Amino acid sequence: MKPIIALNFKTYRESLGKKGIELSQIAAEVALLTGVRIVVAPQTVDLRQIADIYDDVFAQHADHNPAGAYTGSITLEGLKDAKVKGTLLNHSEKRVTEKQIEETIGLAKKEKIEVMLCTKDAEESARLAKYRPTYIAVEPPELIGSGISVSTAKPEVVTSTIEAVEKVAKIPVLCGAGISNSLDVKRAIELGACGVLLASAFVKSPDPKKLLLEMAEAIA
């Protein structure tokens, strides 16, 4: 399968509104140039606008309730209507209960929306794999935003997660936390991951296009 670079814009000022559109245009160009799948997860308020100009957009979170009287919820139905292709779920900064994970994945399957389920380690990944998300993205919380890459500093987290998930179901595993450069990305693929999930290094880069191109070229 095509390697994946998933870019979480979080709620950084550097990724809001017009800046989020520019970052997504960069993702579109690099995906076209290299053939690597590049997913962007923009801020919720920018989702519909960005999904109009790029076809590989994920939400950063989706709720477990259907359409209806659920003030403030991000529904799977709403994401589908906005032409959003997938969603992150259970991100370290937006944890949900196991019941919510099960229900959200159920709704996502109905809407044919991909789910990238975030986990903190191999044990959690194996436990949640039974809900059959499209992807599992393992991210040790202590390395998130640290600039110290999981694939370099804690490769055993990646390999043990891949092994543990394999025993339950055939689900591609990504890794994230501290991914900062093309070597970190290359290393993740060498360890057996299908891709990486990253945020700060891309969003806050003085030259995000150069960085993303280097990362994608390293695994193209």
Between strands 86-89 and 135-138, the pairing is unpaired
φ, ψ dihedrals at 35, nearest 5°: 80, 0
139 catalytically annotated: yes
**Quick check: 213 and 23 in contact, CB under 8 A?**
no
Binds ligand G3P by CB under 6 A, chosen from 56, 63, 124, 139: 139
Q: Is the dihedral of CA 118, 77, 68, 60 positive or negative?
A: positive
124 binds ligand G3P (CB under 6 A): no
57 vs 177, beta carbon nearer ligand G3P: 177
DSSP states of 21-74: HHHHHHHHHHHHHH--EEEEE--GGGHHHHHHH-S-BEES---SS-SSS-TT--
Q: Which stretch binds ligand G3P (CB under 6 A): 19-27, 29-37, 124-132, 191-199?
A: 191-199
Q: Which position among 139, 156, 190, 217 bears the catalytic label? A: 139
Is 91 one of the catalytic residues? yes
Which of 61, 64, 91, 124 is flagged as catalytic? Answer: 91
Q: What residues form DSSP beta bridges with 117?
A: 89, 136
Cβ 60 to ligand G3P, closest distance in Å? 8
Residue 78 binds ligand G3P, judged by CB under 6 A: no
What is the binding site for ligand G3P (CB under 6 A)? 8, 91-92, 139, 144-145, 176-179, 197-201
Annotated active-site positions, please? Answer: 91, 139
